[in-house]
């Protein structure tokens, strides 16, 4: 289990990589996460997750896309691997499964 376990933040990062598609690099992911979740996101934690996700095989990366505002430095561009896509959909399926199991009464009654 340990190897495939996906933390909440990691999942969000994976999703952002998917959303950004061909321009998924550190800062863009930070921006995306802040936009989507409204949270304050630390750059270092994003990079940390990216490194770990790459180690787990959910992401792969290459360098490219240097601009002047980056001081001429390359970005590390991330893309989802097959395994990455699978883990995302697995996670969504599991959630859906669990959603379905919540009895209706919970939503309607409201009082316990």
Partner 1 sequence: MKTSQHNDKPMPPKWAMRFFYWYCNDHLADAVIGDLFELYSRRYTKLGKRKADILFIWNVIQFLQPFAIRKKSNTPLNHLAMFQNNFKIAWRTMTRQKMYTAIKIGGFALGLATCILISLFIKHEVSYDKNYKNGENIYRVYNEMAGSDGGKWTSFPASVAQILKTDYPEVEKSGRLIPYNWFNAGNNLIRREDQVENTYEEKFAYADQDLIEILQIPLIYGNLKQALAKPNTIVISKRKADKYFPNENPVGKSLVLNEDKSKLFTIGGVMEDFPISSHLQYDFLITLTGVEFWPGEQTSWCCWNYNVYIKIRPDANAADLEKKFLSMKDRYYVSYLKETSNQSIEDVKKYHKFHLQPVSDIHLKSDGIYDEIPHGDIRYIWLFGGIACFILLLACINFINLSTAKSANRAKEVGLRKVVGSVRGYLIRQFLTESLFYSFVSFAFALMLVFLVMPYFNLLAGKTLLIPWTAWWFFPLLILAAVIVGVLAGVYPSFYLSSFKPIDVLKGSISKGSRSSKLRSAMVVFQFTTSIILIIGTFVIYRQMNYILNTKVGFDKEQVIMIQGANTLDKKQITFKNELLKLANVENVTISQYFPVDGTKRDQNQFWRDGKSKEEKGVGTQKWYVDADYLKTMGMTLKEGRNFIPEMASDSQAAIINEAMAKALNLKKPVGERIMNWETYNVIGVVDDFHFESLKGEIRPLCMVLGTWGNIVSVKVSTDNMNSVINAITKTWNTFMPTQPIRYTFLDESYARMYDDVQRMGNIFACFALLAIIVACLGLFALSAYMVEQRNKEISIRLVLGASINSIFKLLTQNFVKLVLLSFVIAAPIAWFMMHKWLEDYVYKTKITWDIFVISGVISVMIALLTVSYQSIRAALANPANSLRSE
**Binding of partner 1 at residue 74 (CB under 8 A)?**
yes
Alpha-carbon span 85 to 62, nearest angstrom: 18
Give me Rg for the CA atoms of the chain.
17
Alpha-carbon span 72 to 51, nearest angstrom: 22
Binding to partner 1 by CB under 8 A, coded x per residue (else -) over 47-66, reads xx--xx----------x--x
Alpha-carbon span 95 to 12, nearest angstrom: 14
- We find the least distance from the C-beta atom of residue 31 to partner 1, in angstroms, to be 10
Interface segment toward partner 1; rule CB under 8 A; list 9-17, 20-28, 33-41, 88-96: 20-28
Binding interface with partner 1 (CB under 8 A): 25-27, 30, 42-44, 47-48, 51-52, 63, 66-71, 73-76
């Amino acid at each position: 289990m340990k190897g495939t376990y996906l933390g909440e933040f990691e999942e969000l990062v994976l999703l952002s990589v998917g959303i950004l598609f061909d321009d998924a690099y550190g800062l863009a992911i930070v921006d995306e996460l802040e936009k989507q979740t409204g949270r304050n996101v630390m750059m270092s934690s994003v990079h940390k997750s990216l490194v770990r996700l790459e180690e787990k095989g959910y992401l792969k990366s290459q360098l490219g896309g240097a601009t002047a505002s980056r001081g001429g430095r390359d970005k590390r561009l991330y893309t989802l691997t097959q395994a990455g896509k699978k883990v995302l959909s697995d996670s969504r399926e599991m959630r859906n499964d669990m959603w379905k199991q919540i009895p209706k009464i919970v939503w309607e009654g409201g009082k316990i």
